[in-house]
Amino acid sequence: MFGPGIRYLARRALVLGIFVAFGITIIRQLAAVFNIAVPTWILACVSTAGVPLYTALRANLRQLHNRREAAKLGARDGLRDVFDEVGPVVNVRPLWADIVVTICPEHIKLILSTDFNNYVKGQEFQYGMSSVLGTGVFNSDGEMWKFHRSLSRPYFSRDRISHFDTFDRHADQVISLIKQRMKTGHAIDFQDLIGRFTMDSATEFLFGSCVNSLHAGIPFPHNAALPLSESGPAKGQVATAFAAAFNESMLHVANRARFGWAWPLLEMWTDKTTAPMRIVSAYIDPIIRDAVEKKKLAKSLALDTEMTDIKFEEGTTLLDELLNVTSDPKVLKDETYGFLSGKDTTQWTITVIMYFLAMYPQFLTRLREEILQHVGPTRRPTYDDIRDMKFLRAVINETMRLYPSVCSLTLKCRQCINATTWPSPDPDDERPIYIPAGVQTPYSVFMMQRRKDLWGPDAEEFDPDRWLDERLKKYLLTNSFQFLPFNAGPRICLGQQFAYNEMSFVIIRLLQSFASVSLDLGAFPPGARPPVEWATQAEGRKAVDKFHPKMHLTMYSQSGMWLKMTEAENA
Ligand code: HEM
Ligand SMILES: *[C@@H]1O[C@H](CO)[C@@H](O)[C@H](O)[C@H]1NC(C)=O
Ligand SMILES: *[C@@H]1O[C@H](CO)[C@@H](O)[C@H](O)[C@H]1NC(C)=O
Ligand SMILES: *[C@@H]1O[C@H](CO)[C@@H](O)[C@H](O)[C@H]1NC(C)=O
Ligand SMILES: *[C@@H]1O[C@H](CO)[C@@H](O)[C@H](O)[C@H]1NC(C)=O
């Protein structure tokens, strides 16, 4: 009935009430001493103004305490080096929340792996996400997280050949859509197209029911003069509505994470995720209900007839697999919907791979050679083919190094439970860094994966060979925690192998069919190109990259990735 903001304020009303009452009493006393009459509403306003003062005071007292504790341990106060320090550990304090940002592999290793139990996603994070992701594996800590992780892990620990059938069917559709579009002479928004591929594939292996977004019509460039019959995505289609609702739900969740504890104040009267989640539920709930019913029926049939040897179809979807262990619709939904976010991460990586291949045709040529040599021009790739293709893997790794899908600091973040210290990243000051209890510790994989001291002077260059030549030993093998597109430790991405398979499969299929790829800059709407001042940078990716990267939960290119491709002769 009320929005999250009202609920938030109501919870804090008590504290506020005490504060205001206290303030009023003091001012009344003073007013009595000086014999002036002050209306109550003015008193209330003045007292309320004390709240931010109080918050600031408390934050400062906490800082004093932290400094003392740090000194006791012979450590530096990680929170003191304020804001614009350029070093690898930066402290920011938006809205008086304590945050220590790091880009050091040693610290990230502690957070994700060696000191895993001392870091949680935290309640604040979970509260903002819960109206979309419930309490699924992404959005829980402790025992709840272990429970969810154990539910889904078996599904991903097996190689499922059936996934390849799914990928193949949808890859065929992708290829024929590109061919059709190229015949019109217009570019195609590859980001959107491949998002439909990952959406259709994901809904199929998660629920066994494909949303068919590849059938829903694909957008034309902003500058294309179109016949009336061709107007892009059809409004009102289930697939279009579902994809838009999915995007919107994730966008709000990302926004909430960005505003930390203050987000409910931006959603005073309505929960912004309610409307998109209604559309999502309209699609998913019936599928889950049906699956639960079917399972029940199957069970009762087996009991009635005492045919204990009845074999039910081996679960090939995640939903089937989860039904083995639970029939709670909420658990089933939280779990499966969360997994759908794997669709965005894969979409982004495949999109940037094709972008890099368009930018650097020499690598496209080499990758095609590897594909033709291992798989040939038409055969469908197998798992073994994919495993053996070193250059393909190097291209994928190099892409995820420069443009990791998940790089939002609000997502790549943990909360420290007990106060601790981190090793100093600064050779001139070996005192460790003090990390107070309760502090948020986001880590920037994006920046870490571009550090010149970790990757060499050419860190900002796209060069897949760094994964194959002597640079591998020199840089990466010395510290595996400097490359973390999938995170690491007990919460490492469950879909890592699945994603490598999916991305490899579709790239192979595309390069079997198309011999060259190019960017069509004219098809990018003017407002969506990178800021002009980027081009004047002396070095770095900003100086060369042609799209404008943006971020919600995952990275994406504003207004798409418009490509043209030419068909291979023998495909
Ligand atoms: C290129 C593709 C992908 C990338 C870069 C990626 C990256 C990540 C990252 C960085 C995390 C950690 C997030 C965090 O700690 O908050 C994560 C978690 C996760 N990913 Fe992926 N992912 C990809 C694809 C997928 C796919 C396709 C699936 C499923 C089908 C998937 C399932 C999961 C799950 C279930 C978790 C949560 C694990 C846990 O918290 O225990 N991912 N992924
Ligand atoms: C945090 O400290 C408390 C009290 O010393 C201890 O009981 C608890 O196990 C610690 N938690 C972690 C995750 O280290
Ligand atoms: C959803 O967002 C992605 C970018 O993350 C974009 O490519 C796609 O076109 C969007 N889909 C809809 C239906 O808005
Ligand atoms: C679920 O059931 C199927 C078929 O009965 C079985 O093959 C599979 O191993 C089960 N999965 C789990 C996680 O128990
Ligand atoms: C790609 O990165 C993974 C680590 O995520 C590593 O195990 C693999 O060897 C790398 N492959 C290549 C060819 O660089």
> What's the sign of the alpha-carbon dihedral 553, 559, 564, 567?
positive
The percentage of the chain sitting over the pLDDT mark of 90, rounded to a whole number, equals 39
C-alpha 223 to ligand 3 mean position (Å): 19
The per-residue pLDDT for 263 is 82
Atom of ligand 2 nearest to the CA of 117: 13
Model confidence band, residue 466 (pLDDT cutoffs 50, 70, 90):
very high
Candidates 114, 416, 418, 441: which one to mutate for ligand 2, based on the most atoms within 8 Å of Cβ? 418
Residue 354 scores a pLDDT above 90: yes
Burial letters for 83-107: b for 16+ Cβ neighbours within 10 Å, e otherwise?
eeeeebbbbbeeeeebbbbbbbbbb
The residue that leads in pLDDT, 128 or 385, is: 385
To test the ligand 5 pocket, which listed residue (345, 363, 367, 393) has its Cβ within 8 A of the most ligand atoms? 393
* Beta carbon of 524 within 6 Å of any ligand 3 atom: no
195 CB-near residues (< 8 Å, 6+ apart): 213, 243, 343, 344, 347
Model confidence at 83, pLDDT cuts 50, 70, 90, reads very low
| CA separation, residue 342 to residues 486, 501, 567 (Å) | 11, 13, 30
Of 30-34, 82-86, 122-126, the least confident: 82-86
Instruction: Choose the weakest-confidence range: 13-17, 95-99, 132-136, 460-464.
Output: 95-99
State the Cα–Cα distance between residues 552 and 546, nearest whole angstrom.
20
Average pLDDT, integer, range 496-509: 95
pLDDT band at 571; cut points 50, 70, 90: low
- Residue 327 pLDDT more than 60? yes
- Ligand 2 closest atom vs CA 418: 1
Structure pTM?
0.88
Judged against a pLDDT cut of 80, whether residue 457 lies above it is answered with yes
Q: Whose CA is nearest to atom 12 of ligand 5?
A: 394
Report the alpha-carbon distance of residue 254 to residue 514 in Å, rounded: 36
Residue located nearest, by CA, to atom 14 of ligand 2: 118
> Residues lining ligand 4, CB < 6 A?
154, 312, 314-315, 321, 324
Q: Taking a C-beta distance cutoff of 8 angstroms, is the pair 187, 221 a contact? A: yes
Q: For ligand 2, atom 13, which residue shows the shortest CA distance?
A: 118
Q: Atom of ligand 5 at shortest distance to CA of 397?
A: 1
Identify the nearest ligand to the CA of 233 by its number. Answer: 3
Which pLDDT score is estimated for 86?
Answer: 38
Task: Using the structure block, give the residue that is written with the tokens 């893997």.
Answer: 393
The larger pLDDT score, comparing residue 366 to residue 546, is at: 366
Fold of 155-409+444-567: Cytochrome p450 (1.10.630)
Q: Point out the ligand 4 atom lying closest to the alpha carbon of residue 324.
A: 1
Give the pLDDT confidence score for residue 77 in this predicted structure.
Answer: 58
- Ligand 5, CB cutoff 6 Å, lining residues: 390, 393-394, 397, 467, 483
Residue 356 pLDDT > 90, yes or no? yes
Cβ(485) – ligand 3 distance below 6 Å: no
pLDDT at 236 over 60: no
Asked whether the CA dihedral 8, 12, 17, 19 is positive or negative, the reply is negative
pLDDT at 80: 42
493 marked ligand binding residue:
yes
The pLDDT value recorded for residue 134 is: 84
How far, in Å, is the centroid of ligand 4 from the Cα of 156?
A: 12
Phi, psi of 217 (to 5 degrees): 90, 135
> What number is the average pLDDT over the span 282-295?
89
Amino acid 160: pLDDT: 62
User: Given this model, what pLDDT does residue 433 score?
Assistant: 86
How many percent of the chain have pLDDT more than 70?
89
Q: Which residue's CA is the closest to the ligand 1 atom numbered 11?
A: 493
Q: State mean pLDDT over 318-340.
A: 87
Give per-residue pLDDT as tens, 434-450: 888 988 898 989 989 99
351, 353, 354, 359: CA torsion to nearest 10: 120
Q: Which ligand is nearest to the CA of 408?
A: 1
The neighbour count for residue 570, using CB atoms within 10 Å, is: 11
Taking only the tens place, the pLDDT of each residue in 183-227 is 999 999 999 999 999 999 999 888 888 888 998 888 888 887 765
User: Is residue 233 pLDDT above 60, yes or no?
Assistant: yes
Please give the pLDDT value at position 460. 93
Rounded-to-10 torsion of CA 268, 270, 276, 277: 100
